[in-house]
Amino acid sequence: NAGVTQTPKFQVLKTGQSMTLQCAQDMNHEYMSWYRQDPGMGLRLIHYSVGAGITDQGEVPNGYNVSRSTTEDFPLRLLSAAPSQTSVYFCASTPTGGNQPQHFGDGTRLSIL
Amino acid sequence: AQSVTQPDIHITVSEGASLELRCNYSYGATPYLFWYVQSPGQGLQLLLKYFSGDTLVQGIKGFEAEFKRSQSSFNLRKPSVHWSDAAEYFCAVAAYDDYKLSFGAGTTVTVRA
């Protein structure tokens, strides 16, 4: 019953460092997405994917990169971390082809110093 | 593009009292509507969803929500709150046959004894 698994749960980076946040799901869901959560702003969509090999930008994609080589995994890369990227990051997945809600991971709390 | 407004940033309610959280959406057609709850340090859990049909939707933990097209609203209610209902609540909307969620800024609920 793993669902959506995000690693790490916490991370502190220095400005300019790069990092990959991992997201894996074991439900064979085609659709996966990344959100960031900031106080007073709810969750905002960074990138999403409708299947292996297909990715697209969401509302706030700048400074982030994604790839989808398998159905299970959808990593989010910070290319050169900036303090403005301090946030809580959530990965979500859902099956396509039906009216299904998204399943969320427990989040990664990221601080950029 | 769709959007969501949650007018109340913070609500304090006494244990055993009723609770209503407001949600207004903006979307030209029939939306997909969701309420999620987030306990401190946790991910998002789906409370209930509306896709079509009966406008009064029942969810988990004794919550219900009513879709009112004329008012573009999807308010969440609970007749009698428990201390464990203290959390942050998010309303979200998706366009028809789309998987991208637009979230409101959230409402924090505090329950006093």
Distance in angstroms (rounded) separating the CA atoms of residues A11 and A19: 9
Mark which residues 29-68 of B lie under 8 Å from A by CB: 32, 34, 36, 42-46, 49, 51
Q: What is the pLDDT of residue B48?
A: 95
Taking all residues of chain B, what is their mean pLDDT, rounded to a whole number? Answer: 93
Q: Which residues pair with A87 in a beta bridge?
A: A110
Q: For residue range B66-97, what is the model confidence (pLDDT) as tens digits?
A: 999 999 999 999 999 999 999 999 999 988 77
Residue B86 neighbours by CB under 8 Å, 6+ apart:
B109, B110, B111
Q: What is the pLDDT of residue A97?
A: 63
Q: What is the pLDDT of residue B103?
A: 94
Taking all residues of chain A, what is their mean pLDDT, rounded to a whole number? Answer: 93
Cα A51 to its chain centre, rounded Å, is 15
Which residue of chain B is at minimal alpha-carbon distance from A42? B105
Q: Picking from A32-36, B75-79, B98-102, which range would have the lowest pLDDT averaged per residue?
A: B98-102
Nearest to B107 by CA among B80, B78, B79: B78
pLDDT band at A2 (very low <50, low <70, confident <90, very high): confident
Of B9, B49, B103, nearest to A101 by CB-CB distance is B49
**Chain A residues closer than 8 Å to B9 by CB:** 40
Would you give the DSSP letter of residue B96? Answer: T
**Chain A residues closer than 8 Å to B4 by CB:** 42
Q: Which of A5, A102, A103 to mutate to test the interface with B (most CBs of B within 10 A)?
A: A102
Q: For residue range A52-95, what is the model confidence (pLDDT) as tens digits?
A: 999 999 999 999 999 999 999 999 999 999 999 999 999 999 98
Taking an 8 Å cut-off on Cβ atoms, the answer to whether A105 and B49 are in contact is no
